[in-house]
Structure 1
Amino acid sequence: MVKKFAEGIAKLEKPGLISHIGPDGDAIGSQLALYNWFRKTGKEPLLFNDDPVPDNLKWLAGQEVIQPPTEELLEQCDGFLFIDGNEPSRFGAMSGYFKETRKPVYLIDHHLDPPEDLYRGMLWDSKASSTAYLVYLLYEETGMERLNSEAAEALYAGILTDTGSFRFDSVTAETHFAIGNIIRHGGINPSEIYSRVYEDKTLAEYHLLGTVLEGIRLFCDGAVAVMQVTEKMMSENGCSQDDLEGFVNYPLSIRGVAVALLLYERDGRVKISLRGKSQVDLNQVARTFNGGGHFNAAGAWHDGPIEKAVKEVVAEITALMDDCD
């Protein structure tokens, strides 16, 4: 699978690398590692995302070349790679272009249920810990000598963030083997990367976190924890949606909580982040609300208002849980 995929994308002379909107560490890390992979073959890809790179990832080398896609820029490419997402709608305002183009579109991703008919080739595994892990397999297949320190840092950041610092169920012996190789061949410092990703927060972010934690509500006999953030709360604390990274994981440490939800207002709608402990298929829940993801981690959207979103999402989860009043 990896060899065939590598042979396919190697035929592209001017690839367009596109990560999903609202990018996270896995999306940006995978995108930049692929950027380095192509550059090692003498090619200069174009990198696209509708949204800016999160502040805690702006230290990654190459992130400055990521730009919003336009039809003029996309026309310069002879093919495309969708990174860390599999539905065209996850890739922003130019999604219609990708549905209509006759240029080859490839997929590298670990989310469930990709529409296979859209892609010339796929490197896809829903059991993979991250998309960055799949990009690592591409390096492993084609030669680890291609892995420089910049690509290694991007891969490490991607796997680190998408595995909850290596604590999620998706982490396996193969994940740790890959991490060992990335450190060894890239000559990188894991402690420094962790610090740059997670230990550069502002006091305003902690004030917002405190407010959000104070407002946690429990449903379903304490099995479902809900946090919500309004635009007013973010404005009053001088924060943005980027500052909410990781908030959703906090309630999972509460005794008895099996599912955590974070709902926040964005662009006139409500964005929903879901995390769980293997008791409810959160991908199934998210797909009910225009989203998707994994069994234990997913994202979705609701037209709002936020209280209506809370009520409907909790009801959907409750219907799937055993012994829930």
Structure 2
Amino acid sequence: MEDIDLLKTQLNNPSKIVITTHHKPDADALGSSLGMANYLIKKGHRVQVITPSEYPAFLHWMKGNDDVLIYSDEAHAKCEELMEKADIIMTLDFSVLSRINVLGEMVRSAKGFKINVDHHLDPEDFADFRLWNTGAAATCELCYELIIALGDENLIDKDIAECLYAGILTDTGGFRHPNTTQNVHEVVSKLIAHGADNSRISKNIYDKNSVDRLRFLGYALNQNLEVLMDKRVAFFALSQEELRQYNSKTGDTEGLVNYALSIEGITLAALFKEADDGIKISLRSIGEFPANEMAGRFFNGGGHRNAAGGKVETSLAEAVDLFKTAIEEYKEGLQEEYKKV
């Protein structure tokens, strides 16, 4: 960790703080943002969380959600003013400013002290203080460690603990992924000791499905899933029309790619989702297969070894064809990882 005394000095006096996170925030992004916001408010700071886009309704239970400012064209001027006047800007769960779209240039040009807490690869050098560890399972894990390092464990209450727990829960796949380390278990045990209701959090995140979403999942699994067993690959390719047919909302495709990865014999799974601005790709893999490398080489993206994503400005069919080309280049690695299981 960088010079913690520098950060303590910055947080010593009441300040105007803006917290932001990546586009289409997930539980780790929003959990770290609201967890840190609630903590900093208890320290006497004025805090505003700004997200670059909307996020799933199953995250709305977190304390502070009602005060989040979601960026839009109409909110541009307000977001810009908040960034310009901020004494401190905290950026969470992303490593490069392009991940926050228009907000990225606002952060870059802002005069405030910049903090970055993240666990993704290849960080951009824009922060005055950085807590960065690719070995961490989640940014929420790092946020907990940061609060401890600042000597403020006594400020962690039930609300803060539950926000941080949510991010760790989801980024470890419900504590199933290889990134579920001893430290993860130790941190979540401390969060439970601080009041986090692990059963309630799991229900809020995983068991609040709409009827439309369940019918959509049934459709996707029955009609859209393509399995290339000889390649050790399975994927979904969803058009905008298919998404509209089931009234798909933000978060409704969350976790879908993992169904493909759960098929016995599959090394790599993908989800292609058509949007107005291109095709968004999610990749998931097992073992040592480098999903992030494939995302970077073929889909203008990146991420973690076993969980990555990207985006291309092509048709859905062209994106799938590109994926099949990538599969051919990685066919030996796909087979090798299968043999290890």
User: TM-score higher than 0.5 here?
Assistant: yes
Distance 1:130 1:322 in 2: 30
The answer (yes or no) to whether the contact 1:53–1:63 under 8 Å persists in 2 is: no
Provide the rounded CA distance (Å) in 2 between the counterparts of 1:125 and 1:8. 23
Q: Which runs of 5+ in 1 are unaligned?
A: none
Which runs of structure 2 are paired with 1:170-185 in the superposition (5 Å)?
A: 170-185=179-194
Q: Is the 8 A contact 1:24 1:54 kept in 2?
A: yes
Name the structure 1 match of 2:8.
Answer: 7
User: 1:111, 1:293 within 8 Å by CA — same for their partners in 2?
Assistant: yes
CA 1:160 to 1:104, structure 2 compared with 1: closer, same or farther past 3 Å? same
CA shift digits 1:250-282 (9 cap, x unpaired): 011111101110110122311101111024211
Aligned-pair Cα RMSD in Å? 1.8
Counterpart of 1:171, as a letter, is T
Question: 2:119 touches 2:136 (CA, 8 Å); kept in 1?
Answer: yes
Identity %: 31
Work out whether 1:278 is the aligned partner of 2:315: no
Question: Paired residue for 1:112?
Answer: 121
Show the counterpart of 1:160.
169
**Pick aligned residue for 1:238 from 247, 266, 279:** 247
CA contact (8 A) 1:33 1:155 kept: yes
Taking a change above 3 Å as real, the CA distance of residues 260 and 324 of structure 1, as seen in their structure-2 partners, is: closer
- Per mean C-alpha deviation after superposition, the further-off stretch among 27-36 and 217-226 is 217-226
Correspondence for 1:213: 221
Partner of 2:338: none
Aligned 8 A contact 1:248 1:260 in 2: yes
Distance 2:127 2:333 in 1: 42
Distance 2:10 2:308 in 1: 28
Indicate conservation of the 8 Å contact 1:18/1:48, yes or no: yes
Query: What one-letter code is carried by the residue in structure 2 that aligns with 1:231?
Result: Q
The CA deviation at 1:172 is 0.5
Counterpart residue identity of residue 201, structure 2? I
CA contact (8 A) 1:318 1:324 kept: no
- Find out whether 1:134 has 2:142 as its counterpart: yes
Work out the number of aligned pairs and report it. 323
Q: Given the two structures, how large is their TM-score scaled by the length of structure 1?
A: 0.94
Are the aligned partners of 1:25 and 1:158 in contact in 2 as well (CA < 8 Å)?
Answer: yes
Match of 2:256 in 1: 247
Distance change >3 Å, CA 8–CA 19, structure 1 → 2: farther
Report if the CA contact (8 A) 2:232-2:265 is conserved.
yes
Contact 2:273 2:279 in 1 (8 A): yes
Say whether residues 1:73 and 2:82 are aligned partners.
yes
Where 2:46 maps in the other structure, the secondary structure is coil
1:257-276 pair list within 5 angstroms:
257-276=266-285
**Alignment of 1:148 onto 2:149:** no
Shift of 1:318: 3.4
| Of 129, 137, 142, the match for 1:121 | 129
Measured in 2, the distance between the counterparts of 1:96 and 1:220 equals 44
SS in 1 for 2:135: coil
Amino acid at match of 1:290: N
Question: Contact 1:14 / 1:45 at 8 angstroms: preserved in 2?
Answer: yes
2: CA distance between counterparts of 1:264 and 1:9? 42
Q: 1:4 to 1:246 in 2, by over 3 A?
A: farther
SS in 2 for 1:308: helix
Structure 1 residue 291 corresponds to structure 2 residue 297: no
Aligned-partner SS, 2:117:
strand
- Kept in 1, the 8 Å contact 2:19–2:91? The answer is yes
Separation of aligned partners in 2, 1:321 and 1:158: 33
Give, as a single letter, the amino acid of the residue that structure 2 aligns with 1:191.
S
Q: List runs of 5+ in structure 2 lacking aligned partners.
A: 336-341
Going from structure 1 to structure 2, the CA distance change for 1:261 and 1:43 (only over 3 Å counts) comes to: same
* Paired AA for residue 306 in structure 1: L
Change (3 A) 1:310 1:171: same
Structure 1 residues 153-203: Cα deviation after superposition (integer angstroms, max 9, x where no partner): 101111111111011111111100000000002x22211110011001012
Map of 1:19 onto structure 2: 21
